[in-house]
Amino acid sequence: MLVGKILRSPHGHARIVKIDTSKAEALPGVKAVLTGAEAAKYAKPFGPHFKMDYALKHDKARYWGDEVAAVAAIDEDTAEEALRLIEVEYEVLPVVLDPEEAIKPGAPLVHDDVENNIGFESHLRVGDIEKGFQEADLILKDKFYTSTQQHVPLETWGCVVNWDQITDKLTMWKSTQSVFYDRIGMAAALGLPETKVRVIMTATGGGFGNKTDGVNATDLVAAILSKKTGRPVSLITERWEHVAASRVRHAMVREIEMGFKKDGTITAHRERDYINTGAYPGMGPMVNILTPIFARGPYKTENEWIDCSMVYTNRSNAGAFRGFGGPQSAFAREQMLDMAAEKLGIDPYDIRMRNLVHPEDCPYVNAQGMKINSCGVEQCLEEAAKELGYHEKRENKRKNRGVGLALMFQWTSVRDRPETDADFSSVYLKMNEDGTATVYSQSCDMGNGVYTAIAQVVAEELGIEYEDVSIVTADTETTPACLGNWGSRGALTAGNSAWRAAQEIKERLFGVAAAMLEVDKDNLEAKERRIYVKGSPLKGVAISEVATAAHFLSSMGEAGPIFATGWWASEADLPDENCCGNPCATYAYAANVVEVEVDPETGKVQVVEHVAAHDVGMAINPAIVDSQILGGMSQSIGYALMEDMQYEPGTGRLLNPTYLDYKILTALDMPDVNPILVEEPDPSPNNDLGVRGIGEGPMNCGAAAIANAIYDAVGVRMHSLPMTSEKILEAITQKQAQERS
- Stretch of 380-388, 526-534, 557-565, 601-609 lying at the interface with a copy of itself (CB under 8 A): 557-565
Q: Is 567 in the site for a copy of itself (CB under 8 A)?
A: yes
Please state, in angstroms and rounded to a whole number, the distance separating the CA atoms of residues 70 and 68: 7
Min. distance of Cβ 601 from a copy of itself in angstroms? 50
Please report, as a single letter, which amino acid is at residue 728: I
Residue 269 neighbours by CB under 8 Å, 6+ apart: 132, 256, 257, 258, 259, 295, 296, 301, 303, 304, 305, 306, 333
202 binds a copy of itself (CB under 8 A): no
Residue 23 binds a copy of itself, judged by CB under 8 A: no
Q: How many CB atoms lie within 10 A of CB 300?
A: 17
Residue 3 pairs with which residues in a beta bridge? 73, 234
Quote the CA–CA distance of 679 and 614 in Å, as a whole number. Answer: 8
Closest to a copy of itself by CB, 160 vs 311, is 160
**Site string (164-193) toward a copy of itself, x via CB under 8 A:** -----x-----------------------x
Q: Does 470 bind a copy of itself (CB under 8 A)?
A: yes
User: Residue 559 CB, nearest distance to a copy of itself (Å)?
Assistant: 6
Cβ contact 51:281 at 8 Å: no
Give the DSSP per-residue string, 2-23: EEEEEEE-SSSSEEEEEEE-HH
Nearest one of 413, 428, 417 to 480, comparing CA atoms: 428
The minimum distance between CB 242 and a copy of itself, in angstroms, equals 28
In the chain, the amino acid numbered 95 is: V
Max distance between CA atoms of the chain, in angstroms, equals 95
440 binds a copy of itself (CB under 8 A): yes
Quick check: 478 binds a copy of itself (CB under 8 A)? yes
CA distance 727 to 733: 10
Minimum Å gap between C-beta 422 and a copy of itself is 4
| Minimum distance, C-beta of residue 160 to a copy of itself, in the bound complex (Å) | 16
CB of 710 within 8 A of CB of 637? no
| Site membership for a copy of itself, residue 563 (CB under 8 A) | yes
**Per CB under 8 A, does 123 bind a copy of itself?**
no
Using alpha carbons only, what angle is made at residue 7 by residues 4 and 9, rounded to the nearest 5 degrees?
155
Picking from 680, 696, 681, the residue whose alpha carbon sits closest to that of residue 629 is: 696
CA gyration radius for the chain? 27
CB atoms within 10 A of CB 436: 20
Q: Least distance (Å) from a copy of itself to the CB of residue 624?
A: 18
Provide the minimum distance between the beta carbon of 258 and a copy of itself in the complex, in angstroms, as a whole number: 40
Rule CB under 8 A: choose which of 373, 432, 627, 725 binds a copy of itself.
432
| Interaction of residue 529 with a copy of itself, rule CB under 8 A | no
Q: Strand 233-236 vs strand 2-8: parallel, antiparallel, or unpaired?
A: parallel
Q: Are residues 650 and 453 in contact, defined by beta-carbon separation less than 8 angstroms?
A: no
By beta-carbon proximity to a copy of itself, the closer residue of 423 and 615 is 423
Q: Does 203 bind a copy of itself (CB under 8 A)?
A: no
User: What value, to the nearest 5°, has the Cα angle with vertex 35 and ends 30 and 36?
Assistant: 155
Contacts of 369 (CB under 8 A, 6+ apart): 573, 580, 581, 582
What are residue 404's DSSP bridge partners?
594
Asked if 133 interacts with a copy of itself (CB under 8 A), we say no
CA 509/CA 511 separation, integer angstroms: 5
User: Of these, 554, 666, 738, 741, which contacts a copy of itself (CB under 8 A)?
Assistant: 554
Stretch of residues binding a copy of itself (CB under 8 A), selected from 99-107, 158-166, 430-438, 605-613: 430-438
Total binding residues toward a copy of itself, as defined by CB under 8 A:
37
CB atoms within 10 A of CB 664: 16
Minimum separation from the CB atom of position 474 to a copy of itself (A): 12
Beta carbons of 479 and 442 less than 8 angstroms apart: yes
Shortest approach of a copy of itself to residue 501 CB, angstroms?
11
Nearest Cα residue to 710 out of 322, 338, 178: 338
Single out the residue of 301, 436, 441, 452 in contact with a copy of itself (rule: CB under 8 A).
Answer: 436
Q: Select from 94, 537, 561, 683 the one that contacts a copy of itself (CB under 8 A).
A: 561
In single-letter form, the type of residue at position 107 comes to A
306-314, 433-441, 616-624, 639-647 -> range binding a copy of itself (CB under 8 A): 433-441
Q: Is 424 in the site for a copy of itself (CB under 8 A)?
A: yes
Minimum distance of a copy of itself from residue 493's CB (angstroms): 13
Q: Which is nearer to a copy of itself, 107 or 483 (CB)?
A: 483
Work out whether 433 is an interface residue with a copy of itself (CB under 8 A): yes
Do 32 and 198 meet the contact criterion of CB atoms below 8 Å apart?
no
Among 27, 114, 139, 472, binds a copy of itself (CB under 8 A): 472
CB of 214 to a copy of itself, least distance (A): 15
Interactions with a copy of itself, residue window 534-553 (CB under 8 A): 548, 551-553
Shortest Cβ distance from residue 296 to a copy of itself (Å)?
Answer: 30
Closer of 478 and 736 to a copy of itself (Cβ): 478
Taking CB under 8 A as the criterion, the residue among 20, 89, 194, 672 binding a copy of itself is 194
- Applying CB under 8 A, which of residues 421, 528, 726, 730 lies at the interface with a copy of itself? 421
Q: How far is the CB of 424 from a copy of itself (least distance, A)?
A: 7
Compute the Cα dihedral for 355, 361, 362, 367 and give only its sign: negative
Between CA 208 and CA 327 the distance in angstroms is 13
d(CA 420, CA 416): 9
**Residue from 91, 100, 434, 730 that binds a copy of itself (CB under 8 A)?**
434
CA distance 434 to 547: 6
**Cβ atoms of 140 and 257 closer than 8 Å:** yes
Provide the binding-site residues for a copy of itself, judged by CB under 8 A.
Answer: 169, 193-195, 420-422, 424, 426, 428, 430, 432-434, 436, 438, 440, 468, 470, 472, 475, 477-478, 480-481, 548, 551-554, 559-561, 563, 565, 567, 569
